[in-house]
């Protein structure tokens, strides 16, 4: 019996490791030394390019997915960012790539965003995407945690039936220092996975991942599951992420943001601190495919969890 259990456990772990890779919609590393479109100023402490209040296109962050979903920032004097050498790891565990820089806000109103009308994506336009499954990853280190602070967001309004002021997507820390992922689906249903309170603190790096496989919404913090939500209980017939059709004076539906969120059609939920290695995929990645992939021992624990779930289903 023990040999059979061990064999199934190993098969579960292998299953995590061999899951087919998904398409990456966007991957912002904030580590673009040598990018000719950004210039020779990519170095710790230097200002990242801005758009002068969205009046001119300047690429601040290269999209390493190859799709061309580059980002810019609002206005350096009060809403901008600098590069920082304080990073979560000197290499990205999944790829082995060097990781020397991240981004850090400078002004009190940080805002970094996609602008497809200007960046002209050559591949999949992330602003038009309505993924049926998705994975959102980011590393973050907060200087302040006193309110709603959005790490990655998606602009919109009138998309969630429970509150039409909500935006399409939030990947954030909320006032009680819980971490959360929240989004509206194409039928207007609202889905969220929120951890227990006091999950994070200031001055410490965290790696967070949100995964939707269309049925279950799972939130990981440092490779541990902190919340799972069964979306089939919502009554929705299609849990694909919504793309609305609203717009405002300084935003359009579908725009993705880093360092701020949106509520009631206004920029808000600002992030104060550092953000690094943001990747968005249009499939539900397994833990073995995360940028900050779990250590082998953690993979065994995840495999054991899968085994326990399988046994419970068979006994039900």
Per-residue pLDDT of 135-186, as tens digits, reads 999 999 999 999 999 999 999 999 999 999 999 999 999 999 999 999 999 9
Q: Are strands 81-84 and 102-105 parallel, antiparallel or unpaired?
A: antiparallel
| Rounded average pLDDT over 296-303 | 46
The contacts of residue 299 (CB under 8 Å, 6+ apart) are 13, 16, 17, 287, 288
For residues 38 and 30, give the distance between their C-alpha atoms in angstroms, rounded to a whole number: 11
Segment 193-221 mean pLDDT: 98
> Residue 83: is its pLDDT beyond 60?
yes
Q: What is the pLDDT of residue 295?
A: 72
Q: What is the pLDDT of residue 205?
A: 98
Q: How far is Cα of residue 239 from the mean position of the Cα atoms in its chain?
A: 18
pLDDT at residue 22 above 90? no
Query: Averaged over 259-280, what is the pLDDT?
Result: 98
Q: What average pLDDT is seen over the chain?
A: 89
Residue with more model confidence, 127 or 107:
127
Query: Global pTM?
Result: 0.88
Q: Is residue 124 pLDDT above 60, yes or no?
A: yes
* Alpha carbon distance 95, 82 (integer Å): 25
pLDDT of residue 19: 33
Q: How many CB atoms lie within 10 A of CB 43?
A: 12
pLDDT at 262: 98
Kindly tell me the burial class for residue 55, based on how many C-beta atoms sit within 10 Å of its own C-beta (0-12, 13-18, 19 or more). exposed
pLDDT at 86 over 70: yes
Of all residues in the chain, what percent carry a pLDDT higher than 70?
86
| Lowest model confidence (mean pLDDT) among 6-10, 187-191, 268-272 | 6-10
Residue 294 confidence class, pLDDT cut points 50, 70, 90: confident
Q: Please report the pLDDT score of residue 140 as a whole number.
A: 99
What pLDDT score does 40 carry? 83
Checking if the pLDDT of 255 tops 80, the result is yes
Q: Where are the beta strands (DSSP E) in the chain?
A: 24-28, 71-73, 81-84, 102-105, 112-114, 134-142, 149-154, 169-173, 179-184, 190-194, 205-212, 216-221, 224-230, 247-248, 251-252, 256-258, 261-263, 266-268, 273-281
pLDDT over 70 (residue 11): no
- Specify the pLDDT at position 296: 63
State the average pLDDT over residues 87-106. 98
- pLDDT tens digits, 182-191: 999 999 999 9
The first and second tokens of residue 134, run together, are: 């998705």
What domains appear along the chain, each with residue ranges and CATH number? Answer: 1-19+295-316 (no CATH), 20-285 (2.60.120.200)
């Amino acid at each position: 019996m023990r040999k059979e259990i061990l064999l199934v456990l190993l098969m579960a772990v292998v299953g995590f490791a061999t899951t087919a890779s998904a398409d990456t919609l966007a991957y912002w590393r904030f580590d673009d030394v040598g990018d000719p479109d950004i210039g020779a100023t990519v170095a710790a402490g230097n200002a990242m390019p801005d758009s002068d209040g969205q009046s001119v296109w300047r690429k601040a962050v290269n999209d390493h997915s190859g799709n061309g979903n580059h980002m810019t920032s609002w206005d350096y004097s009060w809403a901008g960012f600098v590069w920082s050498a304080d990073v979560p790891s000197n290499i990205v565990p999944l790829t082995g790539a060097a990781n020397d820089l991240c981004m850090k806000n400078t002004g009190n109103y940080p805002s970094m965003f996609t602008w497809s009308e200007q960046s002209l994506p050559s591949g999949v336009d992330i602003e038009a995407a309505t993924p049926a499954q998705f994975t959102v990853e980011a590393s973050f280190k907060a200087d302040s945690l006193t309110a709603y602070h959005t790490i990655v967001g998606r602009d919109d309004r009138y998309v969630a039936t429970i509150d039409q002021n909500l935006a399409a997507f939030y990947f954030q820390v909320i006032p009680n220092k819980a971490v959360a992922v929240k989004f509206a689906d194409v039928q207007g249903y609202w889905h969220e996975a929120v951890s227990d309170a006091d999950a994070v603190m200031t001055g410490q790096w965290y790696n967070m991942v949100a995964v939707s496989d269309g049925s279950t919404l799972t939130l990981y913090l440092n490779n541990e599951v902190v919340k799972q939500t069964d979306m089939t209980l919502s009554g929705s017939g299609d849990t694909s992420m919504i793309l609305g059709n609203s717009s405002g004076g300084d935003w359009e539906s579908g725009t993705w943001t880093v360092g701020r969120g949106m509520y009631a059609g206004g920029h808000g939920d600002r992030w104060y601190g550092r953000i690094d290695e943001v990747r968005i995929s249009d499939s539900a990645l397994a833990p073995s495919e995360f940028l900050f992939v779990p250590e082998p021992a953690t993979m065994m624990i995840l495999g054991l969890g899968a085994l326990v779930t399988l046994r419970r289903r068979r006994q039900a």
